[in-house]
């Protein structure tokens, strides 16, 4: 693993840690006071953008860092907009729609009660998720250790891959958003998602080839981002690999919960799971 000592001893890393700790404190306090546990969700798409441009401010002559920060900003804008249109943001910052899964987690026997869920909020929702955000953003720190290295074909591939998966994720989220809106309307017939509306869950569009094309794309975006650090160092493995690995594990756990909920609500979901891959798109079985 390359560059760990240099990263830990840099002033930039100290700034990153200060940002992370500040966000952790704000999210924990606000969520405990308001009982709305989507405070981290509100900032998920914003913190990597802050890391990106803060890094550029330290190394303004690195073309690679400018490219990385720009693509992360596109990612952040898209995700923030998607969160906004689903009601996640409010003119009063601590309000907005809470992710339905937090309510289910609060009712879990092992987490029920203010103290137990408060500890879960502190260590998992607030601390762990902010640490994860910093880790999958950390290729910026790796690239900052070699600010004068020239762009390479690996940078081009990483950038192209991120933009491609960003487009796919946008299409998937738009399909899901449209489906949910049509589903809430009464007496809708002859729509693009008529079959899915009958089933109660989306099985058309990109969702015909993957049960979670948006989740797949999100993971692929940050796996691609890792390779900017590879391009900067010339080494295929560095400490920032922990970020995409832990992100994939988080999505695996989150998806299990989501699909457990869906299986309980929709009688046809079990059959859909048998036929359609979970993440990586593939042909129907």
Give me the DSSP letters along 105-164: HHTSTTT-SHHHHHHHIIIIIIIIHHHHHHHHHTHHHHHHTSTTPPP-HHHHHHHHHHHH
Query: Mind spelling out the 3-state secondary structure of 232-254?
Result: HHCCCCCHHHHHHHHHHHHHHHH
- pLDDT band (50, 70, 90) for residue 194: confident
Compute the distance between CA of residue 123 and CA of residue 24 in angstroms, rounded to an integer.
Answer: 10
The more confident residue out of 5 and 183 is 183
Q: Distance from CA of residue 187 to its chain's centroid? A: 34
132-187 tens-digit pLDDT = 999 999 999 999 999 989 999 999 999 999 999 999 999 999 999 999 988 888 65
Which secondary structure element, helix H or strand E, spans residue 18, and what is its range?
helix 11-34
Q: Distance from CA of residue 134 to its chain's centroid? A: 12
Compute the distance between CA of residue 5 and CA of residue 73 in angstroms, rounded to an integer.
Answer: 28
35-70 tens-digit pLDDT = 999 999 999 999 999 999 999 999 999 999 999 999
Contacts 24+ apart (CB under 8 A), 68-71: 68/139, 68/140, 68/143, 68/225, 68/228, 69/140, 71/159, 71/162, 71/163, 71/166, 71/225
Compute the distance between CA of residue 220 and CA of residue 213 in angstroms, rounded to an integer.
Answer: 10
């Amino acid at each position: 693993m390359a560059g760990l000592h240099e990263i830990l001893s840099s002033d930039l890393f100290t700034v990153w840690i200060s940002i992370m700790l500040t966000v952790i404190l704000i999210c924990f306090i606000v969520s405990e006071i308001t009982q709305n546990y989507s405070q981290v969700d509100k900032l998920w798409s914003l913190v990597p953008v802050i890391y990106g441009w803060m890094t550029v401010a330290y190394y303004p002559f690195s073309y690679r860092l400018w490219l990385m920060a720009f693509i992360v900003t596109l990612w952040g804008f898209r995700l923030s907009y998607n969160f906004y249109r689903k009601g996640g943001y409010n003119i009063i910052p601590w309000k907005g729609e809470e992710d339905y899964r937090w309510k289910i987690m609060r009712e879990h026997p092992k987490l029920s009660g203010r103290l137990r869920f408060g500890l879960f909020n502190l260590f998992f929702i607030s601390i762990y998720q902010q640490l994860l955000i910093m880790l999958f953003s950390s290729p910026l720190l790796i690239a900052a250790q070699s600010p004068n290295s020239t762009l390479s074909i690996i940078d081009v591939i990483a950038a192209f891959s991120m933009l491609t998966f960003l487009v796919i994720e946008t299409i998937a989220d738009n399909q899901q958003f449209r489906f949910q809106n049509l589903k809430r309307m009464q007496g809708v017939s002859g729509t693009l998602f008529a079959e899915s509306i009958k089933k109660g869950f989306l099985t058309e569009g990109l969702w015909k080839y993957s049960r979670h094309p948006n989740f797949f794309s999100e993971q692929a975006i940050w796996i691609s981002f890792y390779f900017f650090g590879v391009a900067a160092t010339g080494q295929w493995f560095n400490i920032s690999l922990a970020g995409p690995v832990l992100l994939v594990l988080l999505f695996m756990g989150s998806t299990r919960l989501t699909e457990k909920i869906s299986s309980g609500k929709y009688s046809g979901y079990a059959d859909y799971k048998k036929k359609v891959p979970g993440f990586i798109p593939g042909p129907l079985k």
